[in-house]
Structure 1
């Protein structure tokens, strides 16, 4: 079994990844600002600033999942923080899985990414910061870092948490839609796709999308 470190481990995506990885028998370390009200038995919870905690939890890890939300005091700092997590992951020889947003995907091969078009103002800053973290990996990642940037479907998040179905699809940087034109994924299935990729790598230094 692998040792998996999840940054943002108490957020929506991170907590689902922690739960999924732990259920599969992996050794899981959750990093966040606080301990959850209902901790999962067997999971090691570390609290504090991500960059500082990273120094003691990334060495020895097999995989690092970066799922920090660019909100609150992390707004405007995500590129800086992820650059350090990527650097330390490369130094430790750990696989690095970084979670981004739907807007970093393209509607079709060769088309501009959604973030390059019209995005509602209330979502624009977060979308731009998420895209900047993708560009960080594509343009600046250490040469020896095995990274994957993962984008969920358009309809994803705590407000539409959904249930696990295990019927999801994975793709590259092209958005996936169902027959009705919808783009959806539950938190549990998105986490399952991430842990699947850790257990059975299919992509290296690449963008991955997950949707039904």
Structure 2
């Protein structure tokens, strides 16, 4: 052990004075190894990306040095822009290829099935069942809690309410005589489907944006 190697375990502490104890504690502290912070591991990182990353950093230092010496920067800035764009494109490509490889390894359960299953089995948020009414009293049931919240945010009419306010509150109980909303047109449905991002995760039915768009287009053409 490191303490035995430094002969820290063979010393008689009972014979130490105050200064000896301080020195002994310092020696023991030096022996202890601090745990290093683990590096974040990116599974799709490769040597090409590392080389591009170092190249971008090197150009950054060169630009800072040229700024201090007031040298022209146009050429090196253009070089950094091109290298940085290549670096970002390669990152996106490597990440996408790794995701495709991960998806192909899922077998019968694809990546969306796994994601939806994990979300389905995760605990649902629990609504508050009690609430403090006074500094020493709490509600005892969910029904009582709901009643307290309703009275807090939607209290009954008071003597201070005007006649207009009372009529306005009563109007919510009457159906307004209005015409029904018109149906969506085919163009509106198609335009809406086009705005859905193809990268958006599907639901439990596995219907992605491209599937919905293709079905709607085919269904429209076959049922005219």
Question: How would you bin the TM-score normalised by the shorter chain?
Answer: under 0.3
Please, what TM-score do these two structures have when normalized by structure 2? 0.18
Please, what TM-score do these two structures have when normalized by structure 1? 0.19
- Structure whose alpha-carbon radius of gyration is higher: 2
Structure possessing the higher relative contact order (Cα contacts under 8 Å, 6 or more residues apart): 1
The structure whose residues are more often strand, as a share, is 1
